[in-house]
Amino acid sequence: MLKGYQSWVFENRPVIVSSAAIVGPDEGLGPLSEDFDIVHGDSTVTQKTWEKAEKTLMEEAAQLAMHKAGITGGQVQFYIGGDLMNQIISNTFAARTLAMPYLGIFGACSTSMEGLALAAQLVDAGAANYAMTGTCSHNSTAEKQFRYPTEYGSQKPPTAQYTVTGAGAAVLAREGDGPVVTAATIGRIVDMGIKDPFNMGAAMAPAAVDTIEAHFRDLHIEPGYYDLIVTGDLAAVGYDIARELFHKHNIPIEQTRYDDCGLMIFNREKQGVQAGGSGCACSAVVTYGHLMKKLRSGELKRILVVATGALLSPLSFQQGESIPCIAHAVAIESGGGIEL
């Protein structure tokens, strides 16, 4: 049901019955490595191109999520997925392999929570018994498409981020065992006029704070309701800006723990990742691997995952456009839920 201006509260509590997180070698060297299902030792994943490797990662994550749920593709009514590639080809071609009804979405790095919110809405409304959502990214495909040819080896500024190689998927059902999706807040476009594609954290931070503020306003709750609020790949620069904006907007973020997927996935002191992680897979693998594990163990009871996206393209950058940004928030709980 609609709550406030831009939020949904899911009365039937769609269950995340399974999730899968698969990553590449750099992510496997980070602090969350033990929480991923598969860590590939080679970022090519035995494929001939980076793009085919990214598609393979998505296929593997989706198939593993279904296997863990104990279902087949024929039982999934809808697969909702997207990625960073032109025409979301990684998910489109993965959906070809999966051979199930497919809804392709593009939210850049916010795609993970956009997909989860939509899948939860389908299940909550009774439009699906099972819905699966997934997203992926690959460091080399993103570099090739959005920046410079990988072979060029261009030097990046400290504000730049390192695209995560990986894929995450989740299966939602009306009944089952697992954390439940209780609410979602759909973000709006926020554009502060930033044009530097190597400073996406600064561009996306205002969108993250805008959505979080809307979530609290619509649901009449405060940050302390959650054990953890985590943004998706603002990394070091955007994380600090978000904290400043929370203070400016009188949002008492100190009531809870606030973290960022882009800071959690890598060890910035030991790995050459500039400001931290980014990419569609960043929030996806952290959520569907690390955070799901903590929810299932009871270490976390209630979390708010706010995936952020910079909605630029090579074409928009070449035309001198600024970077429109968005953030989508999804509340996931191990029990109980928001009072209607």
Domain positions in the chain: 2-173, 181-333
266 and 298 in contact (C-beta within 8 Å)? no
> Does CATH place domain 181-333 in 3.40.47.40?
yes
Q: Which amino acid is at 186?
A: I
Please give the sequence-ordered ranges of beta strands (E in DSSP) within 186-273, or none if there are none.
228-232, 257-260
H/E segment holding residue 41:
none
Number of other residues whose CB lies within 10 A of the CB of residue 117: 25
Number of other residues whose CB lies within 10 A of the CB of residue 26: 21
Separation of CA 192 from chain center = 22
For 67-112, what is each residue's pLDDT tens digit?
Answer: 999 999 999 999 999 999 999 999 999 999 999 999 999 999 999 9
Separation of CA 129 from chain center = 23
Q: What was the pLDDT predicted at 82?
A: 98
List the one residue out of 198, 166, 190 whose CA is nearest residue 286. 166
Tell me 267's DSSP state.
-
- Tally the C-alpha atoms within 13 A of residue 291's C-alpha that lie toward its C-beta: 34
Q: What was the pLDDT predicted at 187?
A: 98
Q: List beta partners, residue 267.
A: none
CATH number assigned to the domain with residue range 2-173, chosen from the 4 options 3.40.30.10, 3.40.47.40, 3.40.50.620, 3.10.129.10 = 3.40.47.40
Per-residue pLDDT of the chain (340 residues; tens, 9 = 90+): 999 999 999 999 999 999 999 999 999 999 999 999 999 999 999 999 999 999 999 999 999 999 999 999 999 999 999 999 999 999 999 999 999 999 999 999 999 999 999 999 999 999 999 999 999 999 999 887 776 666 666 677 788 899 999 999 999 999 999 999 999 999 999 999 999 988 999 999 999 999 999 999 999 999 999 999 999 999 999 999 999 999 999 999 999 999 999 999 999 999 989 999 999 999 999 999 999 999 999 999 999 999 999 999 988 988 999 999 999 999 999 965 555 4
Q: What was the pLDDT predicted at 156?
A: 79
Tell me 190's DSSP state.
B
The model's pTM: 0.96
Residues in the chain: 340
Domains 2-173 and 181-333 share a fold: yes
Q: What was the pLDDT predicted at 158?
A: 82
Q: What was the pLDDT predicted at 299?
A: 96
285 and 21 in contact (C-beta within 8 Å)? yes
Tell me how far apart the alpha carbons of residues 149 and 295 are, in angstroms, rounded to a whole number. 40
